[in-house]
Structure 1
Amino acid sequence: MTGEPRIPCGHAAQPASAHANDAIAHIVDKASLRAALKAARRARDPLEKARLDALIGARVLAWWRSHSARGTEPVLGVYWPLRGEPDLQPVYLALAGAGVRLALPLVVAPDCALAFVEWVPGEAMVSDRMGVAVPAVQRVVGRPDVLLVPCLGFTAERFRLGYGGGYYDRTLEKEPRPVTVGVAYAGERVAFAAGQHDVALDVVLTEG
């Protein structure tokens, strides 16, 4: 992992819920942080969410275009949006149209690393054991070269707060790790003490 972000991560103008975000940023207990961040996502106006998602998507697309290796066929691990996560499906469609191979994570068992299956936008989908959409025909691929990681929260040091299942932590335990690109809203930057198994992301992309 690199010690510095690969592109600058600025901060966007504070949203209407700035006071709520300020309060969340001062919670240090992970369980309380998760609850507060989930509540903030549920309260977000759908039109505002769509606007933010478009901005995040533009940054993800720009990052990919400037960092993907020429002359190779890297696999990009993406995610299906759940629980108010940034919806990047228009970006996935654009990338697939440009010939980028995409893969979605698959939960194969509790307390295990994620597997990944190749995905083409528009193909038939089913729900996995966790209720997450995955391709109906599962074409297992190796660990992606680059992995988009949805963040419920993130720290200034690029440590990720997820939902507590530990699937991404276990996936990133072994070297060599894929390049990890966290995806989050700017107002979800928080502070907490990193645990023994926490792995800093290479970069976190937000709307700002």
Structure 2
Amino acid sequence: MIISKSDARALALEHRNRINRLSHSQKSIIIIDKIKNLDVYKKASIVAIYYPIRNEVDLRELLYDNKTFLFPRTYKNFQMDFIKVDDKTIWERNKFGIFEPQNGIIINEGIDLMLIPCLAKNNSNLRLGYGAGFYDRFLFKHNVDFKVGILMDDLTYNFIGEDFDIKLDLFISN
């Protein structure tokens, strides 16, 4: 049965909100281990990740690896840039409650690997996010070598994608 993206989003959020703190930590460790074992991660020098919200997989342990890490900074027009972070980065919450880097070099090209938060996916490798389209807009304009959707659990729903949805190369869950 085909369901709407909004119904799939509601089901995925309900599922993820039921995950307790211990299970969340254990699942995040498993997912981080899977990422670290990917050849594309081992070879990558510039990796875009995200600051976790709403029980998303927390990837910040990856920051200890010897790579250049980028985090998104969003704007009112549903656009975003990726900012190189380091120990001098100043973080501030945006209107969605997500911490974003307020200083640093913008790097939107030459990204080897982008790890993208997902609520769920469909069988066509389309990501289900929160619905604002930040990542789809970014990926339409910028070439990223490899795009990986990060799911807490392997949630697949039969929803129809839209013309602007960008397919991901791989999904990782626990």
Whether the TM-score (by the shorter chain) exceeds 0.5 is yes
- Tell me the percent identity: 23
Task: Give the structure with the larger strand fraction.
Answer: 2
Q: 1:82 aligns with which of 31, 53, 60?
A: 53
More divergent stretch after superposition (81-90 vs 185-194): 185-194
Aligned residue pairs total: 173
Structure 2 contact 89–104 (Cα < 8 Å) conserved: no
In structure 2, list runs of 5 or more residues that go unmatched. none
- Cα offsets for 1:153-182 (capped at 9, x unmatched): 112321100000000110111363431011
Structure 1 contact 105–117 (Cα < 8 Å) conserved: yes
CA distance in 1, matches of 2:88, 2:116: 21
Alpha-carbon shift at residue 121 of structure 1 (Å):
5.9
Give 3-state SS (helix, strand or coil) of 1:140's partner.
Answer: coil
CA gap of 1:61–1:92, structure 2 versus 1, over 3 A, is same
Matched ranges for 1:159-170 at <5 A: 159-170=126-137
Alpha-carbon shift at residue 75 of structure 1 (Å):
1.4
CA distance in 1, matches of 2:168, 2:99: 24
AA in 2 matched with 1:135: P
- Cα offsets for 1:167-200 (capped at 9, x unmatched): 0110111363431011003342222112111111
The aligned counterpart of 1:33 is 8
CA distance in 1, matches of 2:88, 2:30: 23
Q: 2:140 aligns with which of 143, 152, 173?
A: 173
CA distance in 1, matches of 2:53, 2:142: 28
- Cα offsets for 1:38-93 (capped at 9, x unmatched): 11111112111111111001001111xx22575xx731101000111111111222
Q: 1:67 aligns with which of 40, 54, 72?
A: 40
Give 3-state SS (helix, strand or coil) of 2:140's partner.
Answer: coil
Structure 1 contact 107–130 (Cα < 8 Å) conserved: no
AA in 2 matched with 1:116: F
AA in 2 matched with 1:109: K
- Cα offsets for 1:93-117 (capped at 9, x unmatched): 2x2xx2x0000011023233x2011
CA distance in 2, matches of 1:88, 1:121: 17
More divergent stretch after superposition (182-191 vs 198-207): 182-191
Give 3-state SS (helix, strand or coil) of 1:91's partner.
Answer: helix
AA in 2 matched with 1:162: G
AA in 2 matched with 1:50: S
The aligned counterpart of 1:133 is 99
TM-score scaled to structure 2, two decimals? Answer: 0.88
Q: What value does the CA root-mean-square deviation take over the aligned residues? A: 2.1
The aligned counterpart of 1:101 is 68
CA distance in 1, matches of 2:35, 2:159: 25
More divergent stretch after superposition (132-141 vs 166-175): 132-141
CA distance in 1, matches of 2:77, 2:4: 24
